[in-house]
Amino acid sequence: MDETRMQQLGEEVVEVLRGIYDPEIPVNIYELGLVYDIKVSDEADVHVLMTLTSPNCPVAETLPREVEGKVRSLDAVKDVEVEITFDPPWTKDMMSEEAQLELGLL
């Protein structure tokens, strides 16, 4: 897979992630700042490094599976790994300006 196609696939992954919402906050996980990194390999494997709003988040079990399933549904994706980290811990400062506006924080 060439560099341009890898970048396009990365953008497709971002679009998929923008369609996944934290059930407690009416903003998608990408704009919330829960996605720290997305890597696409030459073989079309995708690695998503993300966090949750807290270690005790009620969707700690289901959200990573939802992310994996939806990213895997992209035709070009061969394999998906979703890694959860709490370093650094998520804070409201990680939200996009759009998310902060949506939640009335600006």
Does any domain span residue 64? yes
In the prediction, which pLDDT does 59 show? 82
What is the CA 62 to chain-centroid distance, rounded? 13
In the prediction, which pLDDT does 27 show? 92
Residue among 82, 92, 103, 27 at smallest CA distance from 53: 92
In the prediction, which pLDDT does 25 show? 84
25 Cβ contact list (under 8 Å, min separation 6): 32, 53, 103
In the prediction, which pLDDT does 22 show? 83
CA distance 41 to 2: 10
Does any domain span residue 102? no
CATH number of 63's domain? 3.30.300.130
Does any domain span residue 68? yes
Residue 106 has pLDDT above 80, yes or no: no
Does any domain span residue 80? yes
Q: Could you report the per-residue pLDDT of 43-72, keeping only the tens digit for each?
A: 999 999 999 988 888 888 899 999 999 999
Does any domain span residue 101? no
Residue 8 has pLDDT above 90, yes or no: yes
Mean pLDDT, range 97-104, rounded to an integer:
89
Instruction: Tell me the whole-structure pTM to 2 decimals.
Output: 0.92
Residue 76 structural domain: 3-89
Does any domain span residue 106? no
Does any domain span residue 104? no
The domain tally of the chain equals: 1
The residue ranking higher by pLDDT, 2 or 49, is 49
Instruction: Collapse the DSSP code of 36 into the 3-class scheme (helix H, G, I; strand E, B; otherwise coil) and give the result.
Output: strand
Query: What mean pLDDT value characterizes the chain?
Result: 93
Does any domain span residue 72? yes
